[in-house]
Amino acid sequence: MAQIHDFQQSTQYPWPVGVPAPAGPTDGPLTPPELQLAARNHAMPLEALRRDFTAPGLHYVLTHFDIPDLDAATWHLQVGGAVERSLEISMAALRKEPGITVPVTLECAGNGRSLLAPRPVSQPWVLEAVGTANWTGVPLSHLLGKAGVLPQAVEVVFTGVDAGIQGGVPQKFARSLPIHEAMRPDVVLAYAMNDGDLPPQHGHPLRLVVPGWYGMASVKWLESIEVVTAPFAGYQQDAYRYQDSADDAGTPVSRIRVRSLMVPPGVPDFFTRHRVVPRGQVLLEGRAWSGQGAVTGVEVGVDGQWMPAQLEKSLGGYAWRKWTVPWTADPGEHVLCCRATDDTGATQPLEQNWNYQGMGNNMVHRVSVRVD
């Protein structure tokens, strides 16, 4: 009962909090700690899939601890470890370095978690922990070049300012990348998002953006970069694994699995979100992405009958690709699905690909509609 007691002490719910948060996956009801996380970390409304780029207020947000309040004027980035010369750089100095802009679709590794049965207990994402932005900043490889990476370097560790406790372990949010990923030309230290200043919730004044990797790699509120000569074993590095059970060593989560989502057609019912579509011609549309290879095809299923969608030109790199398909909506209840394939041959599963922490759930998106 300790968990119930602790939670009640830290909140002011007017109603009784009688549902303990289980330690592992559950078939039980959503618990207050999950509600609390869901209210802090918002997803991207699916109608935002109509746009190539997601406005910062619509882009999903995930923050493990608190959003730091940082002043770009006094902030410095430290670069050190296995380098020829350590650097300490102000924001003003960083902005004078050569910049790049990279279109990137970010997706949280836990996207789709709450649709799994049993449900792993953490941030209870449904489908929409995704967004695409143009990230502008300095290529990480340029800065590492200035510092001079020593030959014995194995990984690069990125540490954010934000601190907290997870799994009982006090920590700052920190993740590493293998050196060959860190030296990719499209990995960026970003200070702008969609041409605007980086917003507080997305890592102001500086964050890492790792195209193609699930979101946890893109460390926000970056305070230091350390080149290391042995694999990093920090809490967040270890935490992201595809595991069968709590004791399974599993495999690390890295690149984004192929996925597509559909703009829900018609209009929603307020409370259930069930869709109502007028009869006749409807242009179904959505976006597809993969961090493992280029998206090569999207199929749309109507009541189990699959047809190929039209793919638009890619925005480049690791950004999503628009797809459309015309549909003649006949009166009645229908189930619409979309399924993407990438050039590694990977395609989205029809059934859940369950794992202990609910990572990388790229199951086919299903939308139920009623045509009047």
Q: Can you tell me which of 21, 43, 46, 62 binds Mo ion, judged by CB under 5 A?
A: 62
Count of positions on this chain that bind Mo ion (CB under 5 A): 4
CA distance 19 to 12: 15
Question: Is-contact 372 279, C-beta < 8 A?
Answer: yes
Which of 103, 112, 215, 360 binds ligand MTE (CB under 6 A)? It is 215
CB 296 within 8 A of CB 308: no
Give burial (CB, 10 Å; 0-12/13-18/19+) of 270: exposed
Residue 215 touches Mo ion, criterion: CB under 5 A: yes
For position 323 contacting ligand MTE by CB under 6 A, the verdict is: no
- What phi, psi does 79 have (nearest 5°)? -125, 125
Residue with Cβ nearer ligand MTE (133 or 367): 133
Near ligand MTE by CB under 6 A: residue from 113, 204, 220, 255: 220
224 part of the interface to ligand MTE, by CB under 6 A: no
Q: Which of 71, 15, 50 is nearest to 221 (CA)?
A: 71
Residues 128 and 367 sit within 8 Å (Cβ to Cβ): no
From the DSSP assignment, how many helices (H) and strands (E) are in the chain? 6, 22
Is residue 113 involved in binding ligand MTE (CB under 6 A)?
A: no
219 near Mo ion (CB under 5 A):
no
Nearer to ligand MTE, 31 or 224 (CB): 224
Burial class (CB in 10 A: 0-12, 13-18, 19+), 281: exposed
210 binds ligand MTE (CB under 6 A): no
Which of 70, 108, 116, 182 is close enough to bind Mo ion by CB under 5 A? 108
Site string for Mo ion, 287-326 (x = CB under 5 A): ----------------------------------------
By CB under 5 A, is residue 81 in contact with Mo ion? Answer: no
Nearer CB in complex with ligand MTE: 70/300: 70
Options 54, 63, 134, 254; binder of ligand MTE; rule CB under 6 A:
63
Contact with ligand MTE (CB under 6 A): which of 7, 31, 48, 64?
A: 64
Which single residue is written with the structure tokens 């330690």? 23
> Could you tell me how many residues of this chain bind ligand MTE (CB under 6 A)?
18
Q: Which residue stretch of 54-62, 273-281, 283-291, 332-340 sits at the interface with ligand MTE (rule: CB under 6 A)?
A: 54-62
Taking the complex as a whole, how short is the minimal distance between the CB of residue 110 and Mo ion, in angstroms?
A: 6
User: DSSP readout, 231-243?
Assistant: ----HHHHH-EE-
Q: Is 194 in the site for ligand MTE (CB under 6 A)?
A: no
Confirm or reject binding of residue 275 to ligand MTE (CB under 6 A). no
Query: Dihedral of the CA atoms 126, 328, 276, 34 (nearest 10)?
Result: 0
Site membership for ligand MTE, residue 190 (CB under 6 A): no
Tell whether residue 136 is a contact of ligand MTE (CB under 6 A). no
Q: What single-letter amino acid sits at 3?
A: Q
In terms of phi and psi (left: phi > 0; alpha: psi -120 to 50; beta: otherwise), the region of 266 is left
Long-range contacts of 345-352 (CB under 8 A, 24+ apart): 346/257, 346/258, 346/290, 346/292, 346/293, 347/258, 348/257, 348/258, 348/259, 348/260, 352/115, 352/116, 352/117
Q: Which residues of the chain form contacts with Mo ion (CB under 5 A)?
A: 62, 108, 215-216
Q: Which residues of the chain form contacts with ligand MTE (CB under 6 A)?
A: 59-64, 106, 108, 160, 162, 173, 202, 215-216, 218-221
